[in-house]
Amino acid sequence: MDRGLTSEQERVRTEAARLATDVYAPLADDWDLNRTPCPLEERKRLGDLGYLGICLPHEYGGSDQPLMDALIVIEELGKANRPAAFQVFEANTGPARHLAFLGSQEQKAEVLPSVVTGDVAVAIAISEPDAGSAATDMTTSVARVGREYVLNGTKRWISNGGHADYYLVYCRFDDVPGSQGIGAVLVHKDTPGVSFGAQEKLMGFRGIPSADVYFDDVRLPTSSLVLGPGNFRKLFTSFSLERMGNATMSLAIGQAALDKTLAYVQSREQFGKNIVEFQSVQTLLADMILKVEATRMLVYRAARNAGTGLPDPLEVSLAKCTANEMAKQVTDIAIQLHGGNGYTEEYGLERLHRDSHGWAIAGGTPAMQRTRIVSEVLGRTFNQRG
């Protein structure tokens, strides 16, 4: 099927698919069973291959390529091994990329070259125990004390929590209420006062660490400031990149479930013929194909229009909402069409289904994306607190 990729992008896709099949697919079962985070040596392998710097600036060792190129790699790795794909996700669509857009020259020079090589990782810390979808309820606070900032609070559901080296922390400045008080600071994991909770035991996302992060009178130099208060919109416009990576992970899951199912229905026999011969099976397959391809069109449109910059928030919300719900639906149909085999671990569908729900929660749920869609189309905001 023609996906409108350039010959160079097709080459990137082919090479990433080969790496996924040869290296990361054989590791996926063990990493899921034992909740194994992607080892440092594998992250460095991805760095050596240039996958961690696809979208990062040349001056810091990156390739400065369009967003589409990174999403191609994320999808191919994500079909086989989400913890491996997550390394490319975090570097090119996650907090490291946010830092490339929002950070100071000093911060970028300190962090990004080591991200490109795989020597360090960056995590983003937004959610809190009482501030998930309602991000403006966050209470993690930072106050200016002399020539330092002092950071206090708790962040929850932090992907790569306890494993990342740096944390891009969204926080409230000087108790200024609402969105106007929110900015961000960059914190190294070894800073005194930083600690981590136990690793979460999630239904999916196994091999992608998640933990609480605690900040107890963490003293930071003024050079840690990424953006001061009053930059809520700028912070969350940048976060659209993260949602593009998220949508691509969901696309990868849906495509993997479809690929497995297309092969299965052409080999599984019942009543003397392959089950693909039954019209009821064809109808379900058609639904899977329609959902996957519609998602791909939305993801690719947003990526192409973004180029090397930030994607359009409306196009991102359309893509993420569609992708998240598609992955849940398509993996469910895939389990049905595999029958009893689909309910076993052997065929890998239960892992795809578990992971599909995780990506739908992360980065803003489909319910929140629907609110964003209407808000962007009408050019207005809505007060959810009334």
Indicate the residue type of 1: M
Give residue 65's pLDDT.
97
Give residue 209's pLDDT.
94
> Structural domain of residue 365, as residue ranges?
239-378
Q: Are residues 62 and 111 in the same domain?
A: yes
Give residue 386's pLDDT.
66
Per-residue pLDDT tens digits for 78-110: 999 999 999 999 999 999 999 999 999 999 999
Q: Are residues 251 and 365 in the same domain?
A: yes
Q: Report in angstroms the alpha-carbon separations of 312 from 42, 206, 244, 306.
A: 33, 31, 10, 7
Residue 13 CA to residue 360 CA, distance in Å, equals 25
Give residue 177's pLDDT.
83
Q: Are residues 341 and 372 in the same domain?
A: yes
Q: Does residue 131 lie within any of the structural domains?
A: yes
Q: What are phi and psi of 307, to 5 degrees?
A: 60, -120
Q: Are residues 68 and 32 in the same domain?
A: yes
- Number of domains observed in the structure of the chain: 3
Q: Does residue 2 lie within any of the structural domains?
A: no
pTM above 0.85, yes or no: yes
Do residues 235 and 102 lie in contact, with contact meaning Cβ atoms separated by under 8 Å?
A: yes
Q: Where residue 259 sits, what CATH number does that domain have? A: 1.20.140.10
Enter the tokens of residue 303.
């990526």
Per-residue pLDDT tens digits for 296-338: 999 999 999 999 999 999 999 999 999 999 999 999 999 999 9
Identify the domain boundary among 79, 100, 120. Answer: 120
Indicate the residue type of 240: S
When the pLDDT of each residue in the chain is averaged and rounded to a whole number, the result is 95
Q: Are residues 192 and 291 in the same domain?
A: no
**92 CB-near residues (< 8 Å, 6+ apart):** 52, 53, 54, 55, 56, 67, 70, 74, 245
Q: Does residue 386 lie within any of the structural domains?
A: no
Q: Are residues 334 and 206 in the same domain?
A: no
Residue 175 CA to residue 179 CA, distance in Å, equals 11
Residue 166 CA to residue 161 CA, distance in Å, equals 10
Q: Are residues 251 and 317 in the same domain?
A: yes
Q: Are residues 256 and 369 in the same domain?
A: yes
Asked whether the CA dihedral 148, 166, 92, 105 is positive or negative, the reply is positive
Residue 289 has pLDDT above 90, yes or no: yes
Give residue 132's pLDDT.
78
Q: Are residues 143 and 115 in the same domain?
A: no
Q: Are residues 374 and 285 in the same domain?
A: yes
Identify the domain boundary among 72, 100, 120. Answer: 120
Q: Does residue 383 lie within any of the structural domains?
A: no
Q: Where residue 225 sits, what CATH number does that domain have? A: 2.40.110.10
Q: Does residue 385 lie within any of the structural domains?
A: no
Identify the domain boundary among 230, 254, 287. Answer: 230
DSSP 243-266: HHHHHHHHHHHHHHHHHHHHHHHT
Residue 252 CA to residue 50 CA, distance in Å, equals 21
Inter-helix orientation angle 240-265/95-102, to 10° = 150
Q: Does residue 384 lie within any of the structural domains?
A: no
Q: Which of 7-21, 127-141, 174-188 has the highest mean pLDDT?
A: 7-21
* pLDDT band, very low/low/confident/very high, at 134 (cuts 50, 70, 90): confident
Q: Does residue 316 lie within any of the structural domains?
A: yes
Give residue 135's pLDDT.
81
Residue 62 has pLDDT above 70, yes or no: yes
Per-residue pLDDT tens digits for 212-238: 999 999 999 999 999 999 888 888 888
Q: Where residue 37 sits, what CATH number does that domain have? A: 1.10.540.10
DSSP 159-185: ETTTT-SEEEEEEEETT--SGGGEEEE
Average pLDDT over residues 145-160: 95
Asked whether the CA dihedral 102, 107, 112, 115 is positive or negative, the reply is negative
Per-residue pLDDT tens digits for 251-265: 999 999 999 999 999
Q: Are residues 222 and 292 in the same domain?
A: no
Q: Report in angstroms the alpha-carbon separations of 50 from 228, 231, 242.
A: 33, 32, 20
Q: Are residues 330 and 206 in the same domain?
A: no
Residue 204 CA to residue 358 CA, distance in Å, equals 6
Give residue 20's pLDDT.
98
Give residue 239's pLDDT.
87
Give residue 191's pLDDT.
98
DSSP state of 22: I
For the chain, list the strands marked E by DSSP: 122-125, 141-145, 148-159, 166-173, 182-188, 194-196, 210-221, 225-227, 269-270, 273-274
